[in-house]
Chains A and B, each alone.
Chain A
């Protein structure tokens, strides 16, 4: 894995645009993700998360704009950028292969493949080399798929709904294993999910897409600090209940009835279609 230059963004998009015939899937999407960050890519279904992932992974071509990985334009490569690895939501693994054969496939298909590292990740996951992929549990398949993605020694790891279809125990196990590894390796991660609760506590950077447009972009702490949830009476006027309208940018002089939102509240507030807005339920006092 190349050593990232701290001055160069690990992943940068400039006015990225994608159209599917008449549908605008992604519009003028620009962001700059610093190296070593674990970024959440949030947004409702159909917001353009998978399209953005596909474009960065080189599976689809952008209609306009540019993608840069460690300062190198993705246009220089016909497929995926060599410093990017992609783990799709369905955990693409050949069912008839054994774990060992999957690792061999990774080795055969990649110019840069760390066989020792991939094997260590598989061993840490407790996977038997001779076990068939079809016999693995959901959590085990996820661990193998992560090993396959990290075996390329990427500078940027793209994870599309990595915890989807996993039970709560497997979610915790997989997310811990994944985060430990990418933090140790200094890998930059872009992780998509429409379940914001999955992202809370895992990510230190947030990108939020709504209807193909980037509506939030920045470090999580900064974004949360810049917003407040306002407590107000229930829409029905019931006493004691606290239903707050959309999270708003923090006012210059904070008032007592304002508090910092959670990541989930912040993201949900941006998913609301105008003009009604999304009402975020705040904690009752």
Chain B
């Protein structure tokens, strides 16, 4: 628009320009002024309802039945599935593994991830290369990641144990995924390898937003490098800390594909690596192929909804607590 072009008028502005309008048209304009912006939200809302809210409500209805997943016969059994879910000890066994995974990943992301981000923030030579290499595992599909690591870790065809032996470190060679002592730590290590890129990127963006003046002021005030980082820089990273913690929580509690590929549908050995994702899958579709006749889709959905409610509650609490901490810092 040029400076000389006349101002555009809209129906909302029309009354101010003194035009006469019919009352119903004025009412429509008023509604549009108040709620018109919602039209922009509508497509997304429709999509969200269609693919999220609708199926969730449908799932809720199924969870109130005894539908096995085969056939069309079922009966409504009220809240029986939820009652059973809360006293179903495999759920707690799996959830404990999720908690261990979450705590380990939390520590890893906030220490190793932060450390690497700080190093990269110093802008070393080949920084772009390092950043790309460290982020690469994130863009590889989890199924592919699982297969690659399964092959590398295999006691029979893997190369990790032979390499350790060739390096004279044979005492470190293990049956990584079949030994109860190393199976879950190995799953944690693979998960960490896969997701450390996220921690680096999130922390790096936080570090790059810390004003240089703050660090210079701390330096002038006599703070050493560690004090500057801990007292000045780290508090500025609170939003990154919050985002990463919540994302890690959600990611570790919904983990499925990596565990399924690494240790199979039974969370081998003997459920030591079973997580709620594999438990729900096994309950819905069966343990391993052809022979299971104890599947229950409705119970699996009840388990999923219980976990969903629990995750929502914890994620909300985490955000609440960590946001308060952000404001304080």
Report whether chain A binds chain B.
no
Interface residue ranges, A against B (CB under 8 Å): none
Interface residue ranges, B against A (CB under 8 Å): none
